[in-house]
């Protein structure tokens, strides 16, 4: 192998790596801020436990029972897993939506 051939091969490898980095940079620019905003596990444990309590309360009061759907499931894991992928503000808004529904359906 000649020195020029090795240099050409190295240059091709560097260009290929640069192209891959250029393709991945936009994806990282989108995904990293989302991950940075995701709610932490302790916050999500509290949220999921509260969500299940709210749903159980709603089901115990016929006027408040909303039926099916992820917001109204008693499955702790559904609430917890959703929370882990959501920003804390969105999680708090979801909890508030259930709270507001419970207050309204109970006449408070």
Q: Are 26 and 73 in contact, with CB atoms under 8 Å apart?
A: no
**pLDDT-above-90 percentage for the chain:** 56
Q: Each residue of 73-104: pLDDT tens digit?
A: 999 999 999 999 999 999 999 999 999 999 99
Alpha helices in the chain (DSSP H): 3-37, 41-60, 76-84, 88-105
Q: Give residue limits of the domains in the chain.
A: 1-37, 41-105
**pLDDT tens for each residue of 8-49:** 666 776 566 556 655 655 654 554 454 558 999 999 999 999
Q: How far, CA to CA in Å, does 81 sit from each of 23, 35, 43, 66?
A: 29, 14, 12, 21
pLDDT score, position 106: 86
Q: Token pair 């240099």 is at which residue?
A: 7
> Average pLDDT in the 52-58 region?
96
């Amino acid at each position: 192998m000649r020195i020029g051939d090795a240099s050409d091969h190295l240059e091709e490898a560097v260009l290929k790596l640069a192209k891959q980095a250029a393709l991945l940079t936009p994806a990282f620019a989108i995904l990293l801020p989302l991950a940075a905003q995701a709610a932490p596990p302790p916050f999500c444990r509290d949220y999921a436990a509260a969500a299940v309590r709210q749903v159980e309360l709603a089901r115990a009061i016929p006027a408040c029972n909303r039926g099916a759907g992820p917001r109204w499931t008693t499955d702790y894991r559904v609430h917890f897993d959703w929370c882990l992928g959501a920003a804390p503000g969105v999680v708090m808004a979801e909890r508030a939506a259930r709270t507001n529904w419970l207050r309204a359906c109970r006449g408070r």
